[in-house]
Structure 1
Amino acid sequence: MAVGSDDHDRLDVQRGEDGIHIGFVTLVSIVAAVGGLLFGYDTSVISGAIGFMQALFHLSNFMKGWAVSCLTVGAVLGAAAAGSLSDRFGRKKMLIVAGILFSVGSIGSALSNHMGWFVTARIVGGAGIGVSSTLVPIYIAEIAPAHLRGRLVSLNQLAVVIGISAIYFVNRWVAGAGSPRWDVTTSWRWMLGLGIIPGIVFMGLLLTVPESPRWLLKQGAANRAFAILERLNGAREAKVRMEEMKRSIQSETGRLGVLLQPGFRAALVIGIVLGVLQQVTGINAIMYYAPSIFQQTGAGTNAQLTETIIVGLDNLVFTILSLWLIDKVGRKALLLTGAFVMTISLVVVGALFQTGNTSSPLILVFILVFVAAFAISFGPVVWLVIAEIFPTRIRGRATAIASVALWAADYLVSQTFPVLLGSAGPSMTFWMFGLMSIVAFLFTLLVVPETKERTLEEIEQHWGRRHTSSP
């Protein structure tokens, strides 16, 4: 029987003491999180391909940045459309569309013979990434119980990191499969084209999961929503959740303008600013351009790719650690700790470049410290908070606004990083990221609330109370 069937048959999976169908909830969350695997694969595959493409197409620093950042243009477009389309057609259907776009983009970019074709294909694939990055956290947040929501939503970030780590190995393997000339003409095509495999797997797995019960209830399909809630939570808890969701949805207007009310306006500001800060602290400059950064230290091609693999494994290990911490320590504490350590790391890396210690192993060490700090904080937590803080009726559209801001910031960083390295130099570039990490620390300290162990309805009521108490 498919996981997503709407009758009352139960999978033979152990329930927790509170009636929650832990196995079913986890299985559905893992399936959805495969969308994060596509995200990680497609955003980082370019790190291994761009050097060979630069040699083949004779790219300037600006065009090198454009070849990397054009994906994020598609991601902005996909994120912008994902909200309203998922509020209309459902989370599940739009995630399947994301898988289709990703697969088309992978094949199209691999077959490209000139930059115009390549950019078009990458924008198409990027649109799929924009859709999935917006909707996977929403989907998981809407099916997960409050006390497991942080851990389950963060499975998406874990999948992103697995995708990043996997592609570093793939890039290293493909680049070593032929001659240097073959690398320039062909290897990058295989790096990009192999992305169709996770794309097809994602689409197939999505056929086995149910639609979001909150979205179904919003559409008037109360019986289907309850059947899914019962399978997720057990009959008693499903009744409680159903009543909470009904009250929440009945109290909402469904108009995006509700986000301009004082309480919800604060939620919108937090979502947008956290999304931007996640990017302007420099994580994707490192993930997209890791070989180029290590080239600045004098490392050869094989050493560059090997050190990049080490960065990916570091990211993976500390993202796994974040799954254990996020529902224990809380969102805010992780953000504050991560921003502090990220700042120190970036300042040290900038200082090493400034003093000419480019061959020092400390550069790799502190880049690894930076990535580790990001992996337990701004990596998973920002996507989680964005998925948690908006009202049900407009969650898709509101989350899309924050996602668009995040991807626009990603575009800015990925487009300008090669130019900054060439003009301002690596030391000033890393110090700029360090300054943004200080801003991230202060914003979290002063503005971001703690949402640990609150239901989505309780978080929504929190913003509503702020609205009614405003003058």
Structure 2
Amino acid sequence: MADEKVTPAPKAQTAKQAEGLDEAQVENLSSSLPPLNEKDAMAVAQAGGWEVDTLIANMEQELEAAGGLSKGFFDLEFQDKKYFTWVIVAFASMGGLLSGLDQSLISGANLFLPDDLGLTTRQNSLVNSAMPLGAVGGALILSPSNEILGRRWSIIISTILYTIGAALEAGSINYGMIVAARVILGIGVGLEGGTVPVYVAETVERKVRGNLVSLYQFNIALGEVLGYAIAAMFVTVPGNWRYILGSSLVFSTIMFIGMLFLPESPRFLMHKGRTLDAFRVWKRIRGTDTQETREEFFVMKVSVLEEQQAVGEGSSNKRFPWMDFFTRPRARRALVYANIMILLGQLTGVNAIMYYMSVLMHQIGFDELRSTYMSLVGGGALLIGTIPACFLMERYGRRFWGNMMLPGFFVGLAIIGGSYQINITTNPGGAEAAYLIGLILYMGFFGCYACLTWVVPSEVYPTYLRSYGMTVSDALLFLASFVVTYNFAAMQNAMGRTGLTLGFYGGIAAVGWVYQLFFMPETKDLTLEEIDLIFEKPTREIVAENTRNMKQGLSDFFAGRWGRKPENRAIRPEKTDKDSEL
């Protein structure tokens, strides 16, 4: 079967199978594939149209003619497809473990590495921030890597970079070598960080997509706790920081081996016009036994055809698809929305606090050994905070997590800022207690919120722009992380500890909360193709809907109607070519 054509069934078969559609609609649909737009495709699929069954039947015939499913050494297959989903998520999300591990390992090394290598304060700031700086470079190669090599091989390459960077870190003998090692490590982090959430989002079913993408953030938090634990294990060992930084070699090797057994993303294969390969992967990881999986494959194919037509309308866009971020309102809205979420996650200071955790503990009165152990408190709170999001993201939705968590970690920042006003000399116990309470609240609520910074960008971009969009989001995330981390010591000296924590970080959290209340759409329990339809609507309509839902929510709350769910009217909007706002 050619990728661009589905052979219609006879009219008698059409009339019999297309339940819920009258004869005129059937005739219209039978002559419109392709092109069907996403809205029409969903209507056909939900009505049980013959096009779905015809497409799957033709794909089965073509697959059989091509020799069926491959049975190579690296081609895993499970009779129960849910096991495949968990294997994919387990190994792909291990990238989050590596990312978190390498973020927190430097915290323990900070107590010893500067003296051993003779680093100044400014040089050590660059050592700490070299990884997010390198991650910006990794993000910049994300798009060509994803488009040319695919999601799977991009992740494999990132594990190789992790391994090289960790080995060089452990063997560093001077300032230049440690900075180079951190940059190489960062390139792997940047490449993997923007690819893994997309890979998972494009592969798993919509009902659990938010929960499973959230596992990436859970693994980041788990890696951070593990990094603090490893630092505590080696803190008294001679050459401690070398063992601390080199420990991630073990995990990058495991992830490299695991990724060799995983398939490519079916949506990427469809995007590249490799429909048969996409179907072959779909059969292995999702199957076609249920009507839902058959319909989702149908909608995925039609949506890609629709996007290809949109790209082909102008020669400039065909050569440079990323120009659609400037010329297509739907793409522009997704870009703005995803990257504001990224900035809100980074400019509230989490990475600076993570990288300097041991140093901050030392500032409030703990000695070096106790500072290393007490860092586990912050990392543990972050890990525990991600757990509710992993299980409940799809139940309560993105807006709930965003709008409930931001005020929570603002309170934590306020308590941390207040703890610096307590005199450490006269009341050391009070200062330590207040700081730790604030840190636990901040990290706990941020753990829930941080899941959104990976879920949102991974699902809001159109398929043909997803790698370009994730390049921007990934680069912005690590650039913001670099700026915050590199300037942490200077900003603390200039603003004071309370001014930086409560004034700067807390102020951004407060402004971000107001933004989210009005501008954040709900995307839970929707396919990636249905999310396209939400962002087709003008921003003013999304704001109007959020305002209505907030008023209704307050009314229901005070009236005791706490189980009522707001209506998501953004689904299936009418497209408009006249809309030109963000």
TM over 0.5: yes
Letter of the 1:105 partner, please give it: G
Contact in 2 for aligned 1:345/1:366 (Cα 8 Å): yes
Decide which structure has greater helix share.
1
Match of 2:353 in 1: 286
Counterpart CA distance in 2 for 1:380 and 1:284 is 15
Same amino acid, percent of matched pairs? 27
Letter of the 1:226 partner, please give it: F
SS in 1 for 2:423: coil
CA deviations over 1:151-176 (Å, ceiling 9, x no partner): 11111111111111111110000112
Match of 1:333 in 2: 400
Match of 1:456 in 2: 528
SS in 2 for 1:51: coil
Residues 57-456 of structure 1 mapped to structure 2, 5 A cutoff: 57-176=117-236, 178=237, 182=238, 186-235=239-288, 236-252=291-307, 253=311, 255-260=321-326, 261-356=328-423, 359-360=429-430, 361-377=433-449, 379-431=450-502, 432-456=504-528
Shift of 1:323: 0.7
**C-alpha RMSD of the superposition:** 1.7
Match of 1:22 in 2: 82
Counterpart CA distance in 2 for 1:239 and 1:315 is 39
Deviates more, 1:449-458 or 1:251-260: 251-260
CA deviations over 1:114-140 (Å, ceiling 9, x no partner): 111111111011000001110000000
Contact in 1 for aligned 2:117/2:173 (Cα 8 Å): no
Shift of 1:345: 1.3
In structure 2, the CA distance between the partners of 1:372 and 1:62, relative to structure 1 (3 Å rule), is same
Counterpart CA distance in 2 for 1:208 and 1:190 is 30
Letter of the 1:470 partner, please give it: D
Contact in 1 for aligned 2:100/2:222 (Cα 8 Å): yes
Bigger Rg over Cα: 2
SS in 2 for 1:452: coil
Counterpart CA distance in 2 for 1:328 and 1:239 is 24
Shift of 1:444: 1.4
Contact in 2 for aligned 1:70/1:123 (Cα 8 Å): yes
Contact in 2 for aligned 1:350/1:427 (Cα 8 Å): yes
Counterpart CA distance in 2 for 1:299 and 1:63 is 24
Shift of 1:461: 2.5
Counterpart CA distance in 2 for 1:75 and 1:85 is 14
Letter of the 2:385 partner, please give it: F
Letter of the 2:305 partner, please give it: Q
Shift of 1:97: 0.4
CA deviations over 1:297-326 (Å, ceiling 9, x no partner): 111112111110122122112212221121
SS in 2 for 1:251: helix
Letter of the 1:362 partner, please give it: A
Shift of 1:2: 7.1
Contact in 1 for aligned 2:411/2:441 (Cα 8 Å): no
Contact in 1 for aligned 2:211/2:393 (Cα 8 Å): yes
Contact in 1 for aligned 2:347/2:484 (Cα 8 Å): yes
Deviates more, 1:412-421 or 1:356-365: 356-365
Letter of the 2:322 partner, please give it: L
Letter of the 1:453 partner, please give it: D
Letter of the 2:164 partner, please give it: V
Length-normalised TM-score, structure 1: 0.92
CA deviations over 1:64-121 (Å, ceiling 9, x no partner): 2111001111100001111221022100011000000010000011111111111111
Letter of the 1:390 partner, please give it: Y
Counterpart CA distance in 2 for 1:163 and 1:426 is 27
Letter of the 1:446 partner, please give it: F
Match of 1:18 in 2: none
Q: How many aligned residue pairs are there? A: 453
Length-normalised TM-score, structure 2: 0.75
1:11 lines up with 2:78 in the alignment: yes
Counterpart CA distance in 2 for 1:78 and 1:2 is 31
Shift of 1:35: 0.9
Letter of the 1:426 partner, please give it: R
Counterpart CA distance in 2 for 1:397 and 1:418 is 33
Counterpart CA distance in 2 for 1:389 and 1:465 is 13
Letter of the 2:268 partner, please give it: W
Deviates more, 1:153-162 or 1:126-135: 153-162
Counterpart CA distance in 2 for 1:131 and 1:430 is 30
Shift of 1:59: 2.9
